[in-house]
Amino acid sequence: MAFVSSAPSSCFTSRNPLSLHPPNRSALRPLHPPPPPRTLRMSTSRRDSYNITLLPGDGIGPEIIAVAVDVLKAAAARHQVSLTFQSAHIGGVAIDNTGVPFPQETLQKCKSAHSILLACIGGPKWDSQPRGNRPETGLLSMRKDLQLFANLRPATVLPQLVDASPLKPHIVSGVDIMVVRELTGDVYFGIPKGLQIDPKTNERVGFNTMIYHAHEIQRIAHLAYQIAEKRGKQLVSVDKANVLDVSQLWRDIVTELSPQYSDVHLSHMYVDNAAMQLIRWPKQFDTILTGNIFGDILSDAASTLVGSLGMLPSACLGDGSGPGVFEPVHGSAPDIAGQDKANPIACVLSAAMLARYDLDRPDIADCIRQAVNDTLDAGFRTGDIMSPGMTLVGCKAMGEALVQRVQQKTTV
């Protein structure tokens, strides 16, 4: 199953990066006292009815989100919870219909919802768009406008799919990793950035700025510590402090917060070593904390352990004052769009994360996750996770099997 990656885009600026000088580190002083510890808050209180905004996006997006909605509805009904849905455009389909990848109407629908379920965006159809108006730019705009600073990417190797991993079973069996990635800072958002001509050499130059403010590191670190407390109490912070000043600040602040979480064991790892260790010995990791660009790379590397991007959900969270966005980590796969070949499980598991983190309904989340396990136990497989002796099904049939198992359960 082929997926299209969604690499973020950069914008143009007239500022000259060659005129910038590195700061004097000894002169840096905090302007304000550090903020108090941030807790992982739900965006809404527990209730019996919720409003969810759907962003089907491009390619296989409409197919997989339809399955996720069916499963979410069935699980909610088992717990006497009412769900209403409204749809909006993002990405390439938004460009086609409105001229921009993240229209204001979509933003308003997102802000008015209790939570947001996103499928996937992008595709070669829109590669000729100006860089500032490509589908991926809409994704970055959404994260910024909704103040979603934390990306949670679990990589869990299910026992039914150990053989689907490209690594040996004894390496991946039992792997359960949570990557906590900062989402609104770093080189993806740093200014200045762009493309220009160096006036001294008349040579083309491309540049991005890697930058983090202390409060950005503090808030994501607090969240990672709190997640580690609920998991295996092991936190690895990944940086490149041996060569990057911004990583040294990252390491300093993460370390300063450690005494507030005395039950969590903190260790540090350089990003190049972390990438190697994820493949060499992934079971050493429980919770990984890292910045935007390193997290983008490492979370995709971790996804390889599972065997298919079609199995991996994610959550984008803020401080709890507004809705989060929940989405599979894979791309829009335009080569199989409309062919009923897509694996909807990543989107279904994203809906489970939505129920847990945004709706404060772990009962619904557990119901969905159990249905996924039961369906895999029954041998149903889409093409990307197919193995001998299993039953090959398409996207719709996988959805029907999942809904059936939700409805048939006597206890959830």
Count of C-beta atoms within a 10 Å radius of residue 362: 14
Number of H-type helices and E-type strands within the chain = 12, 14
Strand-pair partners of 260 = none
Q: What is the dihedral of CA 96, 103, 106, 146, to 10 degrees?
A: 130
Catalytic member of 48, 163, 245, 272: 272
Q: Is 188 a catalytic residue?
A: yes
- Residues composing the chain: 412
Strands (E), 9-81: 49-57
Measured between alpha carbons, how far is 189 from 231 in angstroms, rounded to an integer? 30
Question: Of 50, 188, 212, 261, which residue is the catalytic one?
Answer: 188
* Residue 183: HSE in the Cβ half-sphere, 13 Å Cα cutoff: 28
Q: Pairing mode, if any, of strands 325-328 and 313-317?
A: antiparallel
DSSP 37: P
Q: Which of 186, 193, 239, 240 is catalytic?
A: 240
Between the alpha carbon of residue 75 and those of residues 61, 326, 369, the distances in Å are 21, 17, 10
Active site residue 270: no
Distance CA 160, CA 143 (A): 34
Is 263 among the catalytic positions? no
- How far is 137 from 103, CA to CA, in rounded Å? 11
* Residue 330, Ramachandran bin (φ over 0: left; ψ between -120 and 50: alpha; else beta): beta
Q: Given 145, 176, 300, 363, which residue is catalytic?
A: 300
Instruction: From 19, 122, 102, select the one nearest 53 (Cα to Cα).
Output: 102
CA–CA dist 52, 72 (Å, integer): 11
* Closest-CA residue to 368 (of 77, 23, 43): 77
Phi/psi of residue 36, nearest 5 degrees:
-65, 160
Any alpha helices (H) in 258-394, and if so which ranges?
Answer: 271-280, 292-306, 345-357, 362-377
Write down the catalytic residue from 70, 239, 296, 384. Answer: 296
d(C-alpha 233, C-alpha 266), whole Å: 9
User: Does residue 198 have an active-site annotation?
Assistant: no
Residue 87's SS3 state is strand
**Where do the DSSP E strands lie in 302-406?**
313-317, 325-328, 380-381, 391-392
Does the annotation count 272 as an active-site position? Answer: yes
Q: Would you name the residues annotated as active-site residues?
A: 188, 240, 272, 296, 300
